[in-house]
Amino acid sequence: MTAPLRLGIAGLGTVGTGVVKIVRKHRETLAARTGQPIEITAVSARSKSRDRGIPLSDYAWEDDPVALATRDDVDVFVELIGGEDGPAKAAVEAALAAGKDVVTANKAMLAIHGQPLAELAEVNTRVLRYEAAVAGGIPVIKALIEGLAGNEITRVMGVMNGSCNYILTRMEASGLSYQEIFAEADGLGYLEADPQLDVGGIDAAHKLAILSSIAFGTQVNFDGIALEGIERVSVEDIQQAADMGYKIKLLGVTQMTARGLEQSMSPCLVPATSPLGQLEGGTNTIVIEGDSIGQVVLRGPGAGEGPTASAVMADVIDIARGNRLATFGQPATELTAAKVAHSARPAAYYLRLALQDKPGALAKVATALGDAGVSIDRMRQYGHEAPTAPVLIVTHKTTRDALNTALAQLPTTNVVAADPVALRIEDL
Amino acid sequence: MTAPLRLGIAGLGTVGTGVVKIVRKHRETLAARTGQPIEITAVSARSKSRDRGIPLSDYAWEDDPVALATRDDVDVFVELIGGEDGPAKAAVEAALAAGKDVVTANKAMLAIHGQPLAELAEVNTRVLRYEAAVAGGIPVIKALIEGLAGNEITRVMGVMNGSCNYILTRMEASGLSYQEIFAEADGLGYLEADPQLDVGGIDAAHKLAILSSIAFGTQVNFDGIALEGIERVSVEDIQQAADMGYKIKLLGVTQMTARGLEQSMSPCLVPATSPLGQLEGGTNTIVIEGDSIGQVVLRGPGAGEGPTASAVMADVIDIARGNRLATFGQPATELTAAKVAHSARPAAYYLRLALQDKPGALAKVATALGDAGVSIDRMRQYGHEAPTAPVLIVTHKTTRDALNTALAQLPTTNVVAADPVALRIEDL
């Protein structure tokens, strides 16, 4: 048996605590699987005194994660602090510069600073691994970098924010409004400290940006994602979608097109019977499509102590076994800056408008759409009591650009009361 | 760029042809992803002249796979001949002894000879990889050995024979008999040359034996699997199961119990709404459960040129990248010979009996079951024209041993016409 692999863990929240538990519980199994004992030598967190239900007295304590990251008795720095900048990034940079391998669960940091961090890792011949950053316990990073590496990846899609999926699933089941279910989810502790990270789609988009980089060999580009949260999805939208055989999911799609890399994270209608449509609550599902494989679907817990710690440990075990991968699957200096495409794939759209009760109002809307080249597949107007009438429209396939042009024209008709809701229909 | 990794491919059927295509098509991507060009130097197959739609003139030809396996210009021997013994095994042994790494899709060989082959690989410090042997293109071996290595695996389940799933799905959709759909599948080329490998559950059991070894650190033990094919499943069984909210699937389950390792491959009733119940046609699904992860579900194509070649290439890429794993995830000499348990987990069973039309017949059956400690949850007898009446019984949870005792008693009642069908109900 060789010398132990020594971990320094910064951040002892849910995930950090879970990692400590696994290292303690599976000491023998981990050594058998890697040929090397895995030990924790030092830890760091905001509060030393807080009771986390795990004994920390065996480990050295550092108040400063940067000090932890550069300790001589640390081989692998495990960053579980979170946040795209600040102490997390400073400590990761310090660790790589000091010749430590790094394992992190920090999707925001990788989505924003992934390229320079990958380059820093490479300059120092260290690895930077982040299985826990995407889809919790699902080994999707490994599947994409390794298991499907013989493929040209053609598309990656997924539902990768459990909180949004919980809210949408609960809205459908209860018939309660977004605002009511949001409050419920917040009360249950299902949302991030800044809930906008969840419901605004930002957290899920961070994950998508990382997947794109691996899938297409491109520099991670969070700003290139067409991003839309779930805040404007109504119970009525969910029910209308259900009538048409669809569910509404916060769906991430990344695809290399002739016009460039198209990444979107937005509420979409997906067939109710599809793997993504069937997904309920906090479970995540990632769909990977490649030229040889066809389609693979990975489904599992997207968050939580055990699943996320399981993913962190997979990275630690890889390092112990000597599996040293480039951060995004190929040398960082070879990753290309992809052209951003936002409207390459035509799709049908679901529109919900609030129409003012004026003669010829519906005709004016249809004309505005038609003038922009958006043709209508189905349209439905409701009986109503309010001064505005809800109108639902399903378009034929169109580009998002054409649709946006049409939507921009609508106010000039003077018959549309509020910003329309426009949701893409993805026939997977 | 370093020297190329040189492949020798034995077997140029569907999968071998697919591998050649990927190596040719993705030359640059593969080099970028591994840091090493991947080249084919020599090939071997039964017929040199057959047109496979790929140019073979760039590669040296060997009639004898053993000669191919030991060539000086081969670094990795890719065995795609098939068959548990014969030339496949001889060539793999020769390759390992000659210091070559080996990639194979041969589930039968690994299920029967996995332990000595893993030991041989280890003695020669070579790797023996086989992602393509289980569930086609789904990267399940990688998920189990690497992605979930931080877990104590508690159970692995799956539908891993597409041909059986096709037959069962088609029987349900068409209402046609097993014999009719078997003939249809055979005519479509969906079945192995020896169809018993498929419908007898043997092929799927080979895969399960491999998964067990990885999951539980045990020596692969194909003979320890309680094995039952789908030949006796009737359309009536499928319809009755549907009435109760179940589908019938050829289900593999492996689980470490207090009494030992319990492995079974048999037609089972699974909830129609579960991931396994929803599976149609040739797609495979593997469910992995671990102490930290909870449950992960992997779904994808279980066979075919592209998917299987994708899995072979994943192994080749791992070798090119220097990811050198023990065959079953830990040193072969440390794998234990698990005690075989066959009846550790109580389950409800679905029984179909042909009852002779005699007074008190049903009571006699109920008594025989009760005497063996098997209690009845539901029972249903049909109106009938034949001299025997179909009777369907759902038992309360019981052990397979108790059920077998009960079933053995049934002939003594002189009222049961033929061997009963007994299918386990798995409430996943």
**Structural contact between residues A354 and A389, judged by C-beta atoms closer than 8 angstroms:** yes
Half-sphere exposure of A383 (CA within 13 A, CB side): 0
How do beta strands B260-271 and A260-271 pair? unpaired
Taking contacts as CB-CB distances below 8 angstroms, the residues of chain A near B329 are: 33
Q: How far is CA A139 from the centre of its chain?
A: 14
Q: What is the CA radius of gyration of chain B?
A: 24
Model confidence at A280: pLDDT above 60: yes
Contacts of A76 (CB under 8 A, 6+ apart): A5, A6, A7, A8, A100, A101, A102, A103, A316, A319
Contacts of A279 (CB under 8 A, 6+ apart): A159, A165, A249, A285, A299
Nearest residue of chain B to residue A303 (CA atoms): B293
Taking contacts as CB-CB distances below 8 angstroms, the residues of chain B near A330 are: 32-33
- Give the total residue count for chain A: 428
CB contact under 8 A, B137 and A32: no
Shortest Cα distance from B288 to chain A (angstroms)?
A: 10
CB contact under 8 A, A313 and B35: no
Residue B241 has φ and ψ, to the nearest 5°, of -60, -45
Q: What's the confidence (pLDDT) of residue B205? A: 98
**Within 10 Å of residue A426's Cβ, how many Cβ atoms?**
22
Nearest residue of chain B to residue A143 (CA atoms): B139
DSSP assignment of A12-52 equals -SHHHHHHHHHHHHTHHHHHHHHSS-EEEEEEE-S-SS---
Give the pTM: 0.96
Q: Which residues of A are catalytic?
A: 207
Q: Does domain B149-301 have CATH number 3.30.360.10?
A: yes
Q: Can you tell me whether residue B103 is helix, strand or coil?
A: strand
Model confidence at A344: pLDDT above 90: no
Q: What's the confidence (pLDDT) of residue B1? A: 56
Taking contacts as CB-CB distances below 8 angstroms, the residues of chain A near B312 are: 150
Domain ranges within chain B, ordered by starting residue = 5-104, 149-301, 348-425
Shortest Cα distance from A283 to chain B (angstroms)?
A: 10
Q: Can you tell me whether residue B230 is helix, strand or coil?
A: coil
**Structural contact between residues A13 and A21, judged by C-beta atoms closer than 8 angstroms:** no
Superfamily of domain B348-425: ACT domain (3.30.70.260)
Q: Can you tell me whether residue B303 is helix, strand or coil?
A: coil
Query: Is the C-alpha dihedral spanning A353, A356, A361, A362 positive or negative?
Result: positive
CB contact under 8 A, A142 and B138: no
Model confidence at A188: pLDDT above 80: yes
Whole-number Cα distances in Å, A70 to A37, A99, A103, A124: 21, 8, 14, 14
How far apart are alpha carbons A281 and A279 in whole angstroms?
Answer: 7
Residue A92 has φ and ψ, to the nearest 5°, of -65, -45
Q: What's the confidence (pLDDT) of residue A79? A: 98
Taking contacts as CB-CB distances below 8 angstroms, the residues of chain B near A311 are: 147, 150
Surface of B (196-255) touching A: CB under 8 A: 217
Strand spans (E) along A107-222: 128-129, 153-159
Shortest Cα distance from B279 to chain A (angstroms)?
A: 10
CB contact under 8 A, A150 and B309: yes
CB contact under 8 A, B294 and A317: no
Q: How far is CA B77 from the centre of its chain?
A: 24
CB contact under 8 A, B331 and A306: no
> First-to-last CA distance in chain A?
49
User: Would you call B313 an interface residue with chain A, using a CB distance cutoff of 8 Å?
Assistant: yes
Q: Which of A150, A290, A310 sits opposite B293 (nearest CB)?
A: A310
Residue B151 has φ and ψ, to the nearest 5°, of -105, 150
Taking contacts as CB-CB distances below 8 angstroms, the residues of chain B near A143 are: 139, 142-143, 147
Instruction: Give the angle B408-B411-B417 at the CA atoms, nearest 5°.
Output: 125
User: Would you call A53 an interface residue with chain B, using a CB distance cutoff of 8 Å?
Assistant: no
Q: What's the confidence (pLDDT) of residue A101? A: 98
If phi over 0 gives left and psi between -120 and 50 gives alpha, with beta otherwise, what is residue B104?
beta
Shortest Cα distance from B391 to chain A (angstroms)?
A: 34
CATH no. for B5-104: 3.40.50.720
Contacts of A268 (CB under 8 A, 6+ apart): A248, A249, A250, A251, A253, A423, A424, A425, A426
- Give the total residue count for chain B: 428
CB contact under 8 A, B33 and A324: no
Range list of H helices, B252-326: 305-321
Whole-number Cα distances in Å, B89 to B122, B195, B204, B311, B314: 16, 22, 20, 20, 22
CB contact under 8 A, B301 and A294: yes
Helix axes B86-97, B107-123, angle to 10 degrees: 20
**Structural contact between residues B262 and B114, judged by C-beta atoms closer than 8 angstroms:** no
CB contact under 8 A, B300 and A300: no
Surface of B (252-291) touching A: CB under 8 A: 275, 278, 290-291
Q: Which of B34, B300, B314 sits opposite A297 (nearest CB)?
A: B300
Give the pLDDT band (50/70/90) at residue A1. low
User: Would you call A137 an interface residue with chain B, using a CB distance cutoff of 8 Å?
Assistant: yes
Model confidence at A97: pLDDT above 90: yes
Nearest residue of chain B to residue A318 (CA atoms): B146
Taking contacts as CB-CB distances below 8 angstroms, the residues of chain A near B216 are: none
Rounded to the nearest 10 degrees, how much is the dihedral formed by the CA atoms of B186, B191, B193, B197? -130
pLDDT of chain B, 428 residues: tens digit per residue = 589 999 999 999 999 999 999 999 999 999 999 999 999 999 999 999 899 999 999 999 999 999 999 999 999 999 999 999 999 999 999 999 999 999 999 999 999 999 999 999 999 999 999 999 999 999 999 999 999 999 999 999 999 999 999 999 999 999 999 999 999 999 988 888 899 999 999 999 999 999 999 999 999 999 999 999 999 999 999 999 999 999 999 999 999 999 999 999 999 999 998 889 989 888 999 999 999 999 999 999 999 999 999 999 999 999 999 999 999 999 999 999 999 998 778 999 999 998 888 888 889 999 999 999 999 999 888 776 777 888 999 999 999 999 999 999 998 888 888 789 999 999 87
CATH no. for A147-298: 3.30.360.10
Shortest Cα distance from B408 to chain A (angstroms)?
A: 42
Q: Which tokens go with B212?
A: 């067990």
Q: Which residues pair with A393 in a beta bridge?
A: A351, A379
Shortest Cα distance from B75 to chain A (angstroms)?
A: 18
Percent of chain A at pLDDT above 70?
A: 99
**Structural contact between residues B275 and B146, judged by C-beta atoms closer than 8 angstroms:** no
How far apart are alpha carbons A41 and A53 in whole angstroms?
Answer: 18
How far apart are alpha carbons A151 and A329 in whole angstroms?
Answer: 13
Average pLDDT over residues A133-156: 97
Q: Which tokens go with B176?
A: 């046609």
Query: Is the C-alpha dihedral spanning B212, B217, B218, B219 positive or negative?
Result: positive
How far apart are alpha carbons A111 and A83 in whole angstroms?
Answer: 11
Shortest Cα distance from A388 to chain B (angstroms)?
A: 41
User: Would you call A26 an interface residue with chain B, using a CB distance cutoff of 8 Å?
Assistant: yes
Average pLDDT over residues A16-31: 97
Taking contacts as CB-CB distances below 8 angstroms, the residues of chain B near A292 are: 18, 22, 137, 306-307, 309-310, 313
**Within 10 Å of residue B384's Cβ, how many Cβ atoms?**
13
User: Would you call B384 an interface residue with chain A, using a CB distance cutoff of 8 Å?
Assistant: no
Q: Which residue has the tokens 């692999």?
A: A5
Taking contacts as CB-CB distances below 8 angstroms, the residues of chain B near A150 are: 22, 26, 30, 309-314, 316-317
User: Would you call B147 an interface residue with chain A, using a CB distance cutoff of 8 Å?
Assistant: yes
Residue A325 has φ and ψ, to the nearest 5°, of -100, 150
Please give the helix or strand (H or E) that residue A319 lies within, else none: helix A305-321
Taking contacts as CB-CB distances below 8 angstroms, the residues of chain B near A34 are: 149
Q: Which residues pair with A262 in a beta bridge?
A: A255
Q: What's the confidence (pLDDT) of residue A306? A: 97
Q: Which of B139, B150, B301 sits opposite A143 (nearest CB)?
A: B139
Of A22-26, A28-32, B119-123, B389-393, the range with the lowest mean pLDDT is: B389-393
CB contact under 8 A, A297 and B299: yes
Taking contacts as CB-CB distances below 8 angstroms, the residues of chain B near A295 are: 300-301
Q: Which residues of B are catalytic?
A: 207
**Structural contact between residues A2 and A36, judged by C-beta atoms closer than 8 angstroms:** yes
Contacts of B123 (CB under 8 A, 6+ apart): none
Q: What's the confidence (pLDDT) of residue A164? A: 95
User: Would you call B137 an interface residue with chain A, using a CB distance cutoff of 8 Å?
Assistant: yes
Q: What's the confidence (pLDDT) of residue B64? A: 97
Q: Which of A139, A152, A296 sits opposite B148 (nearest CB)?
A: A139
Contacts of A192 (CB under 8 A, 6+ apart): A163, A198, A203
**Mutating which of B33, B125, B289, B335 best tests the A interface, going by the most A Cβ atoms within 10 A?**
B33
**Structural contact between residues B425 and B269, judged by C-beta atoms closer than 8 angstroms:** yes
CB contact under 8 A, A293 and B300: yes
How far apart are alpha carbons B206 and B208 in whole angstroms?
Answer: 5
Among B170, B208, B211, B210, which residue's Cα sits nearest to residue B191? B170
CB contact under 8 A, A138 and B291: no
Average pLDDT over residues A155-173: 95
User: Would you call A22 an interface residue with chain B, using a CB distance cutoff of 8 Å?
Assistant: yes
